[in-house]
Structures are given as structure tokens and as C-alpha cells.
Structure 1
Amino acid sequence: MTNAKWTGMLPVDDTALALTDTGGPGIPVVYLNGAYADQSHWRRVIADLGGDYRHITYDERARGRSKRSADYSFEACVRDLDEVLKARGVDRPILVGWSYGGVLGWHWADRHPDRVAGLVTVDAFPVGLTGEAGAERIRKLFRRMRFLFPIAARLGLAARMSAGQHAEVNIELNEIAAAGVPVLERLTCPVRFVLATGDSLGSEKGEMEQGRTVLDPVLARNPNVKISAKVASNHSKILRNDSHAVAQAVRELAATTAGRPAKP
């Protein structure tokens, strides 16, 4: 395992990803961002967990400081995670994913059950807007928001993509997330969910809360999957306002894999 501290650009395909690895001998934790977010959103979680862990963060294609690409597909994100782990010599990390990153974590853990120690999913759940009606609703939302993207990108809340590219990333995510129940039911690693409350940008009243109930049968069928916390923050603010709950879920998983009680 390469555990030296490192910050730089990692070449992948036709792009390069901005990557930070705190190094050290601690349990490796790899953070997977929201669809258009950058690695800065994890700073409160990382500060809470401190030096007992090795923290690896990176910006996906056209997010944060990473370079643009010709491919913004979900499979490209899977390849990026593969390359990050390979480059840093990491085996059996805890994956912590928020929103899009949570769904990415499910699929990577499903494909590589022997290479992941555990999975923390932050307010991602197996539901989404699907079909042509759902796709058109998403495209309409992103067309309305197109003038905000340059400002939002500087705040780590949007990618350096066109409105159409933002929309297509979201459409694909909704289709993949909506088909996620069988994936979650197959997972063999310990999984902890930290769920928000209420709605998010683009959702209608009560839609997000209804979507979170889709997890109920998964919890009943797969004993590896548990709810660590349901917090007061909404989807967008959960990492800012309830970072401690996310950090505590990481501690729970670390304790599970080490066979010891979690620290408060």
C-alpha cells in the first residue's frame, strides 16, 4: 500500500483528476462526491474523524480542479474510482458517498465485494425520475438554471459542463438509482445510511421523504444494510450541518471491521 501523503493531478483516460491523500497508517477512507460537487464538501467530516484515518478525496471530471472530458458517464466515474485506488495502492477502503457518490459506492462495492471494507451512503436511495417524462422534467430544470452554473461551479456546486451535460448526468443517475434495490440487497459488506429530511432542489413537496421509504424492504432483506442516522438537514446541507453523523457512521463501520466498540 502506498501511504505517503500526496496531492496532485491523476491522469485518467482523456482527463486528469485533482486528488488529495493525507497518507499515514490509518484506515483508508475514500470520499465520493455528489454529482456536481467537489472534494471540499468533506472537510468537516475529515476534521471530525481526524488522524486515525487516511483520507482520500478527489474531484470528478470537470468538477473542482479536475480537467474536462469527452465522457461524463456513470461508467467513467466507476473507472475513475478504480484508477484512484490503483494509483494510491489502496485495498479494502471504507467508501463514503454522498448522493451520486452514494450510488457509485453501491455499484463499486457490488462489483468488488472482496475489495471494500464497508460503505457509508449519505442521502442516496434507490428511487429516481425515470422514463421520458422524468427526463424532460430534469432537462427543463437544468435549462432554467443554466445561467447559475458558472457561479455555482466556483462554489463547488456545479460542474464545468453545459446545462445539457448537467441534465444528462442527472438523467442517467436517476435511471441507475431507481434500479438500485437489487444491488443493495446483494451487498455483502457492512453498509450504513445517513439520511436527510425533507426535499432538495428540483424535488416536489414530500417526494424525497417518500423516496427514502424505498429502503425499508432492503433493510428487512439484507442484514448488512442499516440506518446509522436520520438527521434534520436536507439533502443539500447534510454534509455542512450534520457532518458529525456521517463521521460517526464511518466510526461504526471501522469498529465493525475491527471488532471493537465505536467511539462516540
Structure 2
Amino acid sequence: MTNSAWTGLVPVDDTALAVTDTGGDGPPVIYLNGQFATQGYWRRVRAELGPQWRHITFDGRARGRRSGRSADYSFEAALRDVDAVLEARGVDRALLVGWSYGAVVAAHWAARNPGRTVGAVLVDGAFPYDWLDDAMEKRIHTLFGRLRLIAPVLRLAGLMPRMTARQQAESNIELGRLSRTEALGPVLDTLTVPARYVVASGTSFGSRNDEQERIRAGLDAVMTRNSHIRLSAKVSSNHGALLRRDYRAVASAVREVAVTDREGVTS
């Protein structure tokens, strides 16, 4: 039976998430956003893949214009949101595509649910590296504190979450803890589904000098240990521009994962 296109709100915990499902009979792909990004960032990837795929996007808690606020913006809540969206749309098994924060969500979800995961495309995120220390925590709080000045305008445009500066900073700090080598490395080591990385170049918002490239270098050891994980592409775009300029590389990685899953190739 053909799955109908649908747009609406999916309830989860104390809130509801704005979800778009293109429907159709194609393989389901669920897109997991950057930490404070929205589902609109994926439009070029979706267009490149075309209608032969079933595209499911959603805005996280307090993100975009329609998803509701919540008392819980934790990483575990983000994982529950993936469960809620897939259950609401009747999807038993999906291919996960995550950018930045969403890549870490995709890696954790795939590791916990291998039987429900076709594979994962991890876009410039989920790199095991110890980048968080006391000085970085202070820098993060300072950065989001400064953004309060322009937050009202950005929120009206749907470009900034309806979270306080402290909530945004604490979410970013939690990501730093989850990204430590001792925390994220074991998660990636347990992946048994095909995973493909698309890696950007240069800096990202809030990074300095070669910080981001040093973080990305943590992927080398991961690929050495786990043959399910491979580099699909290293692109010239920076972190923020990747989905806009190198969307074809992301779409290519999606196709690669799907073929690998069909053929059962893991090494």
C-alpha cells in the first residue's frame, strides 16, 4: 500500500514535533538536524535523491516555527524523538542521515537499534575527540550569552530555537561530553550496519584555527577498528555550508549505504 504524504504534529513526552513525510513506496530516509537547525536544511539533499525515496524530516523540540517547547532538551530526549516520529509514521526500518549533532544522534540510535536501521550517513559529526574542557565550557556560555541580543529576530524567522541561552549552552556542553573519545568511540565500535561519513573542511561556527580539522582526525582510528564504517567523501565546504554546496555528496552516500545494505556487504 502506498504511504500518503503527510505534514503535521507528532506528540512526544510533554511536547509535539513538526513532521513532514513525503510518502510513497520508496525506502524511508529520516533526516536528523543539526543541534539548533531545522528540517529545511535538507531540501537540496531530498531533491537530489528524488521521489523514489520516502523522505521524513522533523524539527526538534523548540526548533523551527511549530515544534513545541519542552522541559527536556537532553540528548536522550532527542533519541526518543526519533522513536516517536518513526512510530507515528509507521516505519519499521529506516536509513538515518544526520548532520552535526544529528550525526551523533544517528550513531547512537543505529547502535541501539541495528535491526531497525538500514544504515547511517553521518555528515560532519560524530567524531570522537576530547574537545571539551573547563575553558571551552566557559567559551560556550559566553557565545550563547552574546547571541541573546539577536535571538528575538532569529526566533521569528525560525532560525534559532525557542530555548534560553543557558539551555542552548548546556545542550552544547552535553554534546561535548558525549563526543569524548571514551564516550563516543565505543558507540561507533558497536555499529553493525553500514555507516558512511561525509566530512567537511575548515572551521565551524564557534571554532578557531584548526580545531575542527583536529576533531575530524578522530575518525581515522574509528574506521581502522570497524569495517562497517567508511569515509564516503571529504568535501571542500565548511561545516555550515556543506548541506547547501555539497548536497550531492550526501545523496551519494545515502545511495551507497542503501546498496551496501541490499548486497549485505560489510567489509
**TM norm structure 1:** 0.95
Hey, what does 2:107 align to over in structure 1?
A: 106
Secondary structure, in 3 states, of the residue corresponding to 1:168? Answer: helix
Q: % of aligned pairs identical? A: 57
CA distance in 1, matches of 2:154, 2:241: 15
CA distance in 1, matches of 2:201, 2:193: 26
Hey, what does 1:219 align to over in structure 2?
A: 223
- Letter matched to residue 88 of structure 1: R
CA distance in 2, matches of 1:151, 1:248: 36
Asked if 2 retains the 8 angstrom alpha-carbon contact of 1:129 and 1:135, the reply is no
Hey, what does 1:147 align to over in structure 2?
A: 149
Structure 1 residues 186 and 72: CA distance shift in structure 2, 3 A = same
Residue by residue, what CA displacement relative to the aligned partner does 1:205-253 show, whole Å, maximum 9, x if unpaired? 0000011111101111100000000001101111011111001100111
Instruction: Please state if 1:228 is matched with 2:229.
Output: no
Asked if 2 retains the 8 angstrom alpha-carbon contact of 1:36 and 1:156, the reply is no
Structure 1 residues 41 and 156: CA distance shift in structure 2, 3 A = farther
CA distance in 2, matches of 1:11, 1:41: 23
CA distance in 1, matches of 2:71, 2:2: 30
Structure 1 residues 185 and 133: CA distance shift in structure 2, 3 A = same
Give the length in aligned residue pairs: 261
- Letter matched to residue 223 of structure 1: S
CA distance in 2, matches of 1:2, 1:79: 26
Give unmatched runs, 5+ long, in structure 1: none
Asked if 1 retains the 8 angstrom alpha-carbon contact of 2:2 and 2:24, the reply is no
Larger deviation, residues 188-197 vs 84-93: 84-93
1:133 to partner: Cα distance: 2.6
Larger deviation, residues 121-130 vs 110-119: 121-130
1:246 to 222, 244, 250: 250
Asked if 1 retains the 8 angstrom alpha-carbon contact of 2:131 and 2:215, the reply is no
1:128 to partner: Cα distance: 5.0
Instruction: Please state if 1:115 is matched with 2:103.
Output: no
1:155 to partner: Cα distance: 4.7
CA distance in 2, matches of 1:151, 1:41: 19
1:53-68 aligned within 5 A: 53-64=53-64, 65-68=66-69
CA distance in 1, matches of 2:36, 2:156: 11
Asked if 2 retains the 8 angstrom alpha-carbon contact of 1:49 and 1:247, the reply is yes
1:140 to partner: Cα distance: 1.2
- Letter matched to residue 81 of structure 1: V
Give unmatched runs, 5+ long, in structure 2: none
Asked if 2 retains the 8 angstrom alpha-carbon contact of 1:3 and 1:89, the reply is no
Structure 1 residues 45 and 203: CA distance shift in structure 2, 3 A = same
Hey, what does 1:97 align to over in structure 2?
A: 98
1:40-189 aligned within 5 A: 40-64=40-64, 65-124=66-125, 125-127=127-129, 129-178=131-180, 179-189=183-193
